[in-house]
Chain A
Amino acid sequence: MKVAELSAITSAFQEIKNRAELRWQTLYDSGKPVIMVGTATCGRAAGALEVLKAIRDELKRQNLDFPVIEVGCLGHCYAEPLVIISKPEYPPICYGRVNPVIAERLVKEFVIGDNPCLEFVLGALEENDLVPSFSDFPRAKYEKKVILKNCGQIDPKEIDHYIAKGGYSSLVKALHIPPEQIIEELKRSGLRGRGGAGFPTGRKWEVCCRAVGEPKYVICNGDEGDPGAFMDRVVLESDPHSIIEGMIIAGYTVGARYGYIYVRAEYPLAVEHVQIALRQARRLNLLGKNILGSDFSFDIRLFQGSGAFVCGEETALIASLEGKPGIPYYRPPYPAVKGLYGKPTLFNNVKTFAYVRHIINDGAECFASIGDERSKGTAVFALAGKVVNTGLAEVPMGTTLRQVIFDVGSGIPGGKHFKAVQIGGPSGGCLPESALDLPIDFDSLSDAGAMMGSGGMVVLDEDDCMVEIARYFLEFTQSESCGKCTFCRLGTKQMLEILNDITQGRGRIDDIDMLSQLAEDVIAGSLCGLGKTAPNPVLTTLRYFRDEYEAHIKEGRCPALMCRDLIAYYIIPEKCERSCDACVGTCTVEAITTNKKRIKVIDQEKCVKCGTCLDACPPQYNAVIKLSPPSEVPS
């Protein structure tokens, strides 16, 4: 771009930035306390909207006009709903597990009064002498926030918050650099695609940049279909502008005119926040015709996915954008050369785009200094399942699984034993304790039979059956198979039926060999990633937990006491407390009766094995147990 044009861009942006910074400053310099409530989907499921209402109502009753801001997700999802109160002379304090009653008290005693209610504190956002800060948490040693930095600290519906925190300055910087140099910078940074496959981002951009065809497209793949993964949802909901900025830079670099953000319809809040963000960016001319007065025009549209896992595959996603069923097609040509409507199309994952602005702003070296030899930067994980600190964690590549699960996640709740970690969703695998010291990067995990995938990590403990988890994923991939390839369509079906048999006590000993054989065939005979990786959960559980398969088949026993056809609930008469009625009242199908000796008995015919009685039985009695095989129940 011409020099005169460049200075015009800079001054146009400076004006926008000054205004945004002024707004952000007045928020904090007014001397009023600022209250933030985390209202991302995870917070809402825990009741954040009720908390928000309680705070607003209480402030209204007290006739106070203190700012109450809705922010995204801080990553500490285990303690939702979260409220952050920033009051002059105090550090910003984050409160966890807030309910409407606690919220009201926080307003009365801390916002208005001077009691910071330390009993509800989760941690302070800054180091101070009063309360422990998040940086004092053991997990802080392992975490390194890059793309999650803004999440939970700004209002995602306010572009000014994002700009005041340094947003869109990378775009301005990028507009001053020739595209070739941006590609060079990305290559030097070592950034690899965060959708799972780990293809070098710089190379992909280069291919698309050199490809011939007009108009070119940039597509952000936010079709986060992996059950058990929610990293992309959090970034889309909590910091949508970081993705938009990355996409605009991509558009400038490869010479694209249009962009699409493809978001699952199952993420309505992400859809809403992205739509608002796009509108705001357009209003400030950061998006649209002649961005910031330059000769570069680029606009982004939001496209809602309609619930098909296979659309995470780029060629299937293209088909769905074109208004067809999402059925993948053969590559090459890769979309970077020939994609949407036959034109060069750049595909990247949500997180990949979110990294771009950091690389442009802080330089490739800064990004490359994080991580290990082969995988650079950070990895974002969604920790869920049987782990104490469920939520999001961003750690440098090369951190071990053990550090993430036991140090960041604080281990397994309830004194249970770790059994496996399911990583990479339906395409990944289950890794046992012996694999816990593997560093997390693209290559080590594939060597162990799993894959990094997009970053879902579900921790499993002794109560989880490994055959059942394999069956679960097969059921998922089988129903999501688009049906194009015979092996994927019918092979997964056969595998699922065998697994159904095993978990229901009808397994045969040659089933194990048959499963391995079918797994190989499905991998060899499928076109896209869905089929090629669908057998992974079966293969890894067979590799590491073969004894569990054998127990199901040979003894009709589920060692984890999970498979419902292979267990029975039983009340130990010696332990049952006569005067207690807890289980009888909670049984959802009235299967528990009291016998003449006032001991509670389960009618095995009526029992639906929901486990409510086991939860209801007070821990001092612990009279309800599970038995496997069901024939263990004394008659």
Chain B
Amino acid sequence: MAINNKEVTTTEEQAKVRQKTRQILKRFGRKQGNLVPILQKVQGKLGYLPREAMLEIAKFLSIPGIDVYSVITFYNQFRLNPPGKHSIRVCLGTACHMKGGYITLDAWKRRLGIDRGETTPDREFDLDSVACVGCCVMAPVTVVDAKPQGKVEPTKVDGLLLAFEIEREKKS
């Protein structure tokens, strides 16, 4: 996995990321046990974990940058790319899989034109799968912007996307 740093290019943007990260770090003690909660908070604020943020965190905890990077790439929760405006998480738990979650994932891929772990070029949607959200009884489930949607089959994928489109048209 390569670090995608297209987002943070100018020194100005880099400084901004550093400053935002430092703001969050103020609330934490300088021990490595806080690394995961720090990463969660920083990602919550920035949407992803840019290189500048990683370096800032490493400095704060007095650990090598590679240790921060290895933790980030170990856990599924952390992302190195900026997210889209809306997040689509297709559940691939056992019940969802057996009820066609993989078909639903295909439908999302087809409609959004992106693969798992990617963001649409217009930054509207990012698509990923999730191991299990524990709503097995509503299988197949897709979590759309933190809200679990039950029984999402290919036709409902179209319906959900239509709802976004209507929302967008209303605004413009």
Tell whether A pairs with B.
yes
Interface residue ranges, A against B (CB under 8 Å): 41-42, 44-46, 77-78, 80, 224-230, 233-234, 265-268, 303-304, 306-309, 320-327, 341, 382, 384-386, 390-391, 422, 425, 456, 458, 460, 464, 469, 472-473, 476, 480, 482, 586, 588-589, 608-612, 615
Inter-chain contact A391/B137, CB cutoff 8 Å: yes
Residue pairs across A and B with Cβ atoms less than 8 A apart, 17 shown, are A226-B132, A228-B95, A267-B134, A306-B75, A307-B76, A323-B33, A324-B35, A325-B74, A382-B136, A384-B137, A385-B94, A456-B136, A458-B94, A464-B98, A588-B110, A610-B107, A612-B154
Who on chain B is nearest to A234 by CB? Answer: B134
Contacts of B157 in A (CB 8 A): 588
Inter-chain contact A320/B110, CB cutoff 8 Å: no
Contacts of B131 in A (CB 8 A): 225, 227, 266, 307, 309, 476, 480
Who on chain A is nearest to B94 by CB? Answer: A228
CB neighbors of A among B122-144 (8 A): 130-139, 141
Contacts of B31 in A (CB 8 A): 323
| Interchain CA distance A425-B131 in the complex, whole Å | 12
Inter-chain contact A308/B74, CB cutoff 8 Å: yes
Per-residue interface assignment for chain B, residues 31 to 60, with 1 indicating a CB less than 8 Å from any chain A CB and 0 otherwise = 111111101100000000000000000000
Shortest A380–chain B CB gap in Å is 13
Inter-chain contact B77/A384, CB cutoff 8 Å: no
Inter-chain contact A458/B150, CB cutoff 8 Å: no
Inter-chain contact B37/A324, CB cutoff 8 Å: no
Inter-chain contact B74/A385, CB cutoff 8 Å: no
Inter-chain contact B133/A41, CB cutoff 8 Å: yes
Contacts of A229 in B (CB 8 A): 132, 134, 136
| Interchain CA distance A226-B136 in the complex, whole Å | 11
Asked if B147 CB lies within 8 Å of chain A CBs, one says yes
Inter-chain contact A230/B94, CB cutoff 8 Å: no
Inter-chain contact A390/B136, CB cutoff 8 Å: yes
Per-residue interface assignment for chain B, residues 70 to 101, with 1 indicating a CB less than 8 Å from any chain A CB and 0 otherwise = 11001111100000000000001111111110
Contacts of A233 in B (CB 8 A): 134
Contacts of B154 in A (CB 8 A): 588, 610, 612
Asked if B158 CB lies within 8 Å of chain A CBs, one says yes
Contacts of B150 in A (CB 8 A): 45-46
Inter-chain contact A323/B148, CB cutoff 8 Å: no
Interface size, chain B (Cβ < 8 Å): 52
| Interchain CA distance A34-B139 in the complex, whole Å | 31
Contacts of A226 in B (CB 8 A): 132
Asked if B11 CB lies within 8 Å of chain A CBs, one says no
Given contacts A608-B106, A610-B107, A45 and B132 within 8 Å (CB-CB): no
Inter-chain contact A384/B136, CB cutoff 8 Å: yes
Inter-chain contact A307/B77, CB cutoff 8 Å: yes
Which of A44, A391, A472 is in CB contact (< 8 Å) with B97? A472
Asked if B103 CB lies within 8 Å of chain A CBs, one says yes
Most buried by B among A44, A306, A309: A306
Inter-chain contact B36/A385, CB cutoff 8 Å: no
Contacts of B166 in A (CB 8 A): none
| Interchain CA distance A359-B51 in the complex, whole Å | 51
Most buried by B among A228, A309, A464, A589: A228
Inter-chain contact B32/A326, CB cutoff 8 Å: no
Inter-chain contact A588/B70, CB cutoff 8 Å: no
Contacts of B75 in A (CB 8 A): 306-308, 320, 325-326
With A228-B94, A306-B77, A309-B131 given, name 17 new contacts (CB 8 A). Answer: A42-B134, A44-B148, A80-B137, A227-B92, A227-B132, A304-B36, A306-B36, A308-B75, A308-B76, A323-B35, A324-B71, A341-B33, A385-B95, A469-B98, A472-B98, A588-B158, A609-B103
| Interchain CA distance A306-B36 in the complex, whole Å | 8
* 4 closest residue pairs by CB, A with B: A228-B94, A323-B35, A307-B76, A230-B134
Shortest A499–chain B CB gap in Å is 14
| Interchain CA distance A473-B106 in the complex, whole Å | 19
| Interchain CA distance A326-B78 in the complex, whole Å | 14
Contacts of A425 in B (CB 8 A): 94
Contacts of B132 in A (CB 8 A): 225-230, 266
Inter-chain contact B107/A266, CB cutoff 8 Å: no
Asked if B23 CB lies within 8 Å of chain A CBs, one says no
Inter-chain contact B146/A325, CB cutoff 8 Å: no
Asked if B155 CB lies within 8 Å of chain A CBs, one says yes
Inter-chain contact A268/B146, CB cutoff 8 Å: yes
Asked if B120 CB lies within 8 Å of chain A CBs, one says no
Who on chain B is nearest to A612 by CB? Answer: B154
| Interchain CA distance A425-B94 in the complex, whole Å | 8
Inter-chain contact A325/B136, CB cutoff 8 Å: no
Which of A80, A326, A586 is in CB contact (< 8 Å) with B74? A326
Which of A80, A304, A322 is in CB contact (< 8 Å) with B40? A304
Who on chain B is nearest to A480 by CB? Answer: B131
Inter-chain contact A228/B93, CB cutoff 8 Å: yes
| Interchain CA distance A385-B133 in the complex, whole Å | 15
Contacts of B138 in A (CB 8 A): 42, 45-46, 77, 80
Shortest A55–chain B CB gap in Å is 19
Contacts of B36 in A (CB 8 A): 303-304, 306, 320-321, 323
Who on chain A is nearest to B76 by CB? Answer: A307
Contacts of A224 in B (CB 8 A): 134
Shortest A202–chain B CB gap in Å is 30
